[in-house]
Amino acid sequence: MPEGDTIYRAAAALDRALSGRRVVRFESVFPALTRVHADRPLTAMTVDTVQSAGKHLLMHFSGCLVLRTHMRMHGSWHIYRPGERWRARRSDMRVLVATAEFEAVGFNIPVAEFIRSRDLAKHEVLSRLGPDALDPGFDRDEALRRLRSRPSMPVADALLDQRILAGLGNVFKSEVLFSCGIYPFAAVAELDDRRLEQLVDTARKLLAANVRTTSAGLMPDARHRRTTGRDNPSESLWVYGRGRLPCRKCRSAIAVRKHGTGARLTYWCPECQTS
């Protein structure tokens, strides 16, 4: 599942491929997008920049339009040379933005909309995002303030709440909590300032460690996500996806529970995560 690290790398790769270039072709299966394109042709525009905001990807055009996409579970952006064979089905294409040099193709993207640049700051979803864990100007105090404002919320839910901290998804949630030794279902109020600071700092550190490597061609994905610091791909994560397997630190069986909105799985070590 794409989390902030994946979106950040996707935005960086798209930015390198497209920015400063004129759009020569635009396609989409979403009528709301093609209507905008019919009114104000994208082909008269230039890609200014592509950036991430939490798990949202924002493609800016000629200072006036922004294409917001959100990948949810299965969406992805690929970059191709014109004429290059796609590594996904044509029927899965949702959005295509081409310059003379590259084609950016969004596959299985469930959320895509155009926003006028001047309306971006008051956008219903974007304006409510908490501090972006991957933003170099990250506002730690604000993230902590937002965490503390939800005292009764289980900390596992708080980490997924994009209005508190933007960028984390379900994989990093379990990994961050293990790294901090925090029980996922403890309420935020049960954690003192030092523990909350450790939580926020660890979330940033683990996400940042996963945006350093970029691969050319196919959009970087989450297959090589790593939180343990170990090179062996079979040892890349502490607890996520490891239900009933022995903990890498204490050998206890990793626990797993369906929890929260959409019944997402939470993985934790009952021995290592007690506070």
One residue of 118, 119, 250, 275 binding Zn ion per CB under 5 A: 250
Q: HEC string of the chain? A: CCCHHHHHHHHHHHHHHHCCCECCEEEECCHHHHHHHHHCCHHHCEEEEEEEECCEEEEEECCCEEEEEECCCCCEEEEECCCCCCCCCHHHEEEEEECCCCEEEEECCCEEEEEEHHHHHHCCCHHHCCCECCCCCCCHHHHHHHHHCCCCCEHHHHHHCCCCCECCCHHHHHHHHHHHCCCCCCEHHHCCHHHHHHHHHHHHHHHHHCCCCCCCCCCCCHHHCCCCCCCCHHHCCCCCCCCCCECCCCCCECEEEEECHHHEEEEECCCCCCC
User: Smaller CB distance to Zn ion: residue 217 or 246?
Assistant: 246
Considering the rule CB under 5 A, would residue 272 count as an interface residue with Zn ion? yes
Smallest distance, Å, CB 22 to Zn ion? 54
- Establish whether 2 is a catalytic residue: yes
245 binds Zn ion (CB under 5 A): no
Residue nearest to Zn ion (CB): 247
Among 7, 93, 97, 269, binds Zn ion (CB under 5 A): 269
Number of residues interacting with Zn ion: please give it, by CB under 5 A. Answer: 7
Closest distance of CB 155 from Zn ion, Å: 18
Among this protein's residues, is 31 annotated catalytic? no
From the list 27, 31, 55, 235, the catalytic residue is 55
Q: Is 184 assigned a catalytic role? A: no
* Interaction between residue 72 and Zn ion (CB under 5 A): no
Q: Identify which of residues 81 and 249 has a Cβ nearer to Zn ion in the complex.
A: 249
Pick the binder of Zn ion from 123, 247, 260, 268 (CB under 5 A). Answer: 247
Q: Which of 3, 103, 184, 220 is catalytic?
A: 3
Active site residues: 2-3, 55
Report the interface residues with Zn ion, using CB under 5 A.
247, 249-250, 252, 269, 271-272
